[in-house]
Amino acid sequence: MKSLRVHIVIIMAALAVLVGAVSLATQSSRGQSQHPKSEPAVKPTVHISDRNTTEKSAVSAFVDAAAKNATLENELSWTFGGKQQRGWYLYDLLVGRTLNTRNQADSNDFAAALATWQQNKRLNPDGMLNEESFMAMVSEWQNNRLKNRAPAEPGQLITAPSSDFYDPERTAELRQVERSTYAAYKQMIAAAIADPTLKLAHTESGELASTEKYFKIVSAFRSREYQDQLRRQSPNASSAGLAVNSPHFTGRALDVYVGGDPVDTKDSNRAIQVKTPVYQWLVLNAERFGFRPYFYEPWHWEYVK
């Protein structure tokens, strides 16, 4: 009897161990089986959410880019002409024209238009106007400028009447313009006068009135001698206007009055100039008459035909 009891105890113990082992095995196998069971259910969810994430990230990339552009517009640090520059807000109009968009620089559409441009330029199409992309845009603008910088021959120059000039006291020597440039300028002025939104004061014969300052020529042809003289007078001038090899030697570069201090490169002055209807009109229309901008100087336009 004693040994039977012992046997029963041993069997019970063995059973208990077995039950325990089975229940453990069941638990762990349940734990494992959760994966294979739910995987088919989870996997498509993962795939769907992957697709959603991709679509969302395409949209949110431009949301992020737009937010970044809002900051870069005012704060991007870049260098031009050996000078530290801050932001690209002064060039909003030129950027918009380059991208063929009128959307605000902090909009998704602007970022999308920029991404397309970046793609064409083989840049990272992230829709952000960062230093790399902005410098590429500056290069494009600079490449569009007057290629032939050969100084004008005397026979190519005409002397424009003093009524065309911002300073009517300017001497005849300083009123010289390359012939075809002058003809294109006059055509452009006629179109500007005909645009009622600009409200330019003009004469009955369709000339700018003597009281009108906008669009008047501040400076045109400058001889090398005159440029040297200017540079001697202001040896510290960093202005590209006094460059050693100036496009003004060709007689095809015109500085025209677009507001503010006529030819002052200070950011505060250029901020005034780029907001004037006259400058905005030039950005949109000057190309039709053969004039292209020098991005850094809102007043400086070159006849490239």
Binding residues (CB under 5 A) for Zn ion: these are: 255, 300
Start-to-end CA distance of the chain, whole Å, equals 122
Compute the least distance from the CB of residue 293 to Zn ion, in Å: 11
Please tell me the distance from the alpha carbon of residue 94 to that of residue 144, in angstroms, as a whole number: 12
Compute the least distance from the CB of residue 109 to Zn ion, in Å: 34
Of the two residues 117 and 301, which places its CB atom closer to Zn ion in the complex?
301
Of the two residues 164 and 255, which places its CB atom closer to Zn ion in the complex?
255
Compute the least distance from the CB of residue 257 to Zn ion, in Å: 12
Of the two residues 117 and 215, which places its CB atom closer to Zn ion in the complex?
215
Compute the least distance from the CB of residue 291 to Zn ion, in Å: 12
Tally of CB atoms within 10 A around 241: 24
- Provide the token pair at 127: 């829709």
Of the two residues 76 and 94, which places its CB atom closer to Zn ion in the complex?
94
Of the two residues 73 and 255, which places its CB atom closer to Zn ion in the complex?
255
Of the two residues 252 and 300, which places its CB atom closer to Zn ion in the complex?
300
In the beta sheet, which residues pair with residue 79?
84
Compute the least distance from the CB of residue 220 to Zn ion, in Å: 9
Of the two residues 68 and 300, which places its CB atom closer to Zn ion in the complex?
300
- Provide the token pair at 176: 């010289």
Query: What are the C-alpha distances in Å from 13 to residues 1, 10, 16, 22?
Result: 18, 5, 5, 14
Please tell me the distance from the alpha carbon of residue 137 to that of residue 38, in angstroms, as a whole number: 53
Compute the least distance from the CB of residue 56 to Zn ion, in Å: 48
Please tell me the distance from the alpha carbon of residue 10 to that of residue 8, in angstroms, as a whole number: 5
Give residue for tokens 């949301």: 63
User: Nearest to residue 208, comparing CAs of 305, 278, 299?
Assistant: 278
User: Nearest to residue 112, comparing CAs of 59, 76, 67, 71?
Assistant: 59
Q: Which three-class secondary structure state does DSSP give residue 85?
A: strand
Q: Which three-class secondary structure state does DSSP give residue 233?
A: helix
Which residue number has the CB closest to Zn ion?
300
Compute the least distance from the CB of residue 297 to Zn ion, in Å: 6
